[in-house]
Amino acid sequence: AGGTMVPPRPSGTIAKSRATRPGYGLCLYPPCLLLPLLLLTSLPNLSEAVEFSYDDNKVLIELNCLSISAAPKFTKIPGDQIGVSGGVASFVCQASGDPKPMVNWNKKGKKVNSQRIETIEFDDGAGAVLRIQPLRAPRDENVYECVARNSEGDVATTAKLAIIRGECVSVCMHV
């Protein structure tokens, strides 16, 4: 009569984890909390993120991170610019998403490629600065495209660069 009462051991798995990411820690709950937890797992999608296993009189529950994937969305959009021939132009583009997107710059549908055009990545590639120096007209006058891409999709935005030639600057200043 003085022994401890051990509840019967349930069998099997109540909910199998299908989450794509590793769990965020393990928690041990006494069996009396099992019913409220089971009620929680009856909610849509939550049961896919909780895995139950049994160890004597405690229930081991692993909560997995629910992966909410998202297509890229711009957080910094480049604006159109007017530069001076021989000067510098810089465009900044950044995006967010899950997984973190990669940002690339294109000119005429192809990745920018020139000794005078530099792409500087930041935020682990989710942001990029396009820097053109020295500006050459009409070669650099164009529409530049920033593309953010991850496994959930891609999104693009454009910025136009116009260049004022040096002769125009001196003539326009004297008017």
pLDDT 10s digits, 4-43:
665 555 544 344 333 344 444 444 445 555 555 554 554 4
Provide the percentage of residues in the chain whose pLDDT is more than 90: 52
- Give residue 164's pLDDT: 95
Domain of 128: which CATH number? 2.60.40.10
Taking residues 99-128, report their average pLDDT. 94
Identify each DSSP E strand in the chain by its residue range. 23-29, 50-55, 58-64, 70-76, 81-84, 89-98, 102-107, 110-111, 117-122, 127-132, 142-150, 153-164
Report the domain count for the chain: 2
76, 48: one domain: no
149, 81: one domain: yes
88, 148: one domain: yes
pLDDT 10s digits, 45-80:
444 445 555 555 555 555 555 568 999 999 999 999
